[in-house]
Amino acid sequence: MLDTVFGDVSLTAVESVMALDADFWFEFADPEAPKRIQSRDLRPDWRKRGFLRGYCDSRYTFGRYISPLSPNRPTDAEALFAQNAVLYDRLTDPAEMRNLAADPALRGLVDRYRGVLEALIDRELGTDTRAWVTERPRLLGRPTWHGDTDQPAASAAASGG
């Protein structure tokens, strides 16, 4: 259905921890940053909405941001705007400098694109409602990410098998 109604569209799913909290990375200019990390004084803010779900069609780029701690599936425009939607018209703004998502004149388009995005997520990712981390991530040591314990080797090791 999506391909026939909206053309050939694909979901863009960005989960880049490196780009999640720019303020955290800027702190690495401080020579004391390693000590601050060890003392837990310097930590990224995992609540920031730096992960993206979006797509492009022949004219627009549309998306919404999520936090790795609180994924969401907005069911209407109000919920969508609470989670930071973006809409760019690449025809009139090829550099994608003006976010049109909050323009009241485009409310119908934004809501239609929200529906397409959610359908793409269903088609390509499934429910997409699990937090990306199973615990508040530790900066020292490897955090436990969802999927780590879903692997057969991890499950066998956890059960003693």
State the total domains in the chain: 1
89 domain residue, yes or no: yes
> Residue 39 falls within a domain, yes or no?
no
At which residue do the structure tokens 């994608």 appear?
A: 96
pLDDT digits (tens, 9 = 90+) for 12-58: 888 776 667 788 888 888 999 989 888 878 877 777 777 889 999 88
- In the chain, where does DSSP find H-type helix? 2-6, 22-26, 33-38, 77-82, 107-124, 152-158
Q: Which CATH number is 99's domain given?
A: 3.30.1120.10
Residue 95 pLDDT class (50, 70, 90 cuts):
very high
CA 37 to chain centre: 25
Give the pLDDT confidence score for residue 109 in this predicted structure: 94
Residue 88, domain extent: 7-16+46-125
**DSSP annotation of 121:** H
Q: pLDDT per residue over 51-94, tens digit each?
A: 889 999 889 999 998 887 777 788 887 788 776 889 999 999 99
Of the candidates 58, 54, 60, 53, the residue with the CA atom closest to the CA atom of residue 109: 60
